[in-house]
Chain A
């Protein structure tokens, strides 16, 4: 494949993991991924990723849902107007319920889509660069670097006390 190489270090402690990320950054390795059994703000802060774009999916879905709700109720009422006691054919108060429910429904479905597209379909780490202990009690730092850099990375990981180090082509 390419001349890129993946290196995965496994750690037991959160503070050591974060320290390792900082050290790797200082040494010029910026293509990093951190694995953890649960979400923590500390990892989020040190990784400094841009804000998740799932929110735009949510907003878009919700607005589309509201628009569909308006169109659906208004257009179908006008398609076959039934006048009851001269009440308005297009009557927004009862339609608000439908509009509200469709806003929520489509917003939620779009959020799911956003989650799938952004975190699942974007398979950026190979299967071998995973350890089943990450879903239990271990933390992991994966570095993607050029083949020349592997030695430096391994040195940093060892000096930080990584319990296990794995290598794979990326």
Chain B
């Protein structure tokens, strides 16, 4: 498997692979996300307690979940990059961080708009909200750190360390609703238990989750391709490729 996997560490192969995978992520992602959103926002039944306001869950929960898993994937990239000295992983971190920051921002924003009708306030200093805000700052820190180095190889190593240090925040976000039991409601869907949600409400949520995950993947792939081209501008294969177009 190692022999099969190893060529992809080279930027040229990674660029090709990202190009091949991109349509497979982008198209289903777009279709599923549209389907899930329309289903969730228009056709799913209204909640007996929260009324129509609950529909924001179809944007809020997928983006919040993904904001964390995107961070985890970034930290894994950092780990692989540092251990096996793979430059492509550093570029992947640079590609992932802004996508994650946007997801985190969407989660916070939709959360605030959900909080206004439900809790009567845009923002409370609740454990989960605060830790999600910290996550946003972590993303910003990583983007700023990467941008401020002239030498991008060094920048990649630095952000890898920073990304791995920030992983400590992920369990804090995830378990914050259980540990502190504050205003934010507990988990609605979980892998191991029966979801506390009616199936006709649950399906659009799951579809949206998958759709947004694929869309984020597509964005990351495209950003990775750009990053590789920008970093490797002097390489013959990039010059050839640009000439052909």
User: Do A and B truly interact?
Assistant: no
- Residues on A facing B (Cβ under 8 Å): none
